[in-house]
Amino acid sequence: MEEPLSPRESGRFLSELSRDVFVVEEGAKCVAQMIFELRESEDFTASGWKKNNPLAPPPDSDEAVNWVFVTDTMNFSFWPDKEEEQCEVKCRGNNYRGYMSLCAAVTRAMDEGVPITSPSYFSQITEAKLAHVLRSDTTTPMPMLKERHQVLTEAGRVLLERGGSFRKFMSHCENDAEKMVKYIVQNIPSYRDEAIYEGKRISLYKRAQILVADFWGIMEARGEGNIPNLDCLTMFADYRVPQGLVYLGALRYSDGLMETLKNGELLSSGERREVEIRGCSIWCVERIQHHLWNLVEQRDGKKCHINSALIDFYLWAYAKKHHKEMAHIPIHHTRCIYY
Q: Which of the residues are catalytic?
A: 238
In the chain, the N- to C-terminal Cα span, in Å, equals 25
The torsion angle over the Cα atoms of residues 334, 284, 53 and 206, rounded to 10 degrees, is 50
Burial category of 114 from C-beta neighbours within 10 Å (exposed 0-12, middle 13-18, buried 19 and up): middle
Taking the C-alpha atoms of residue 216 and residue 225, their distance in angstroms, rounded to an integer, is: 4
Q: Cα 216 to the chain's mean position, in Å?
A: 14
Q: Of all helices (H) and strands (E), which one includes residue 167?
A: helix 166-170
Count other C-beta atoms under 10 Å from residue 299's C-beta. Answer: 10
With CA atoms as reference, report the closest residue to 339 among 275, 256, 294, 288.
Answer: 275
| Contact between residue 276 and residue 23 where contact means Cβ atoms under 8 Å apart | no
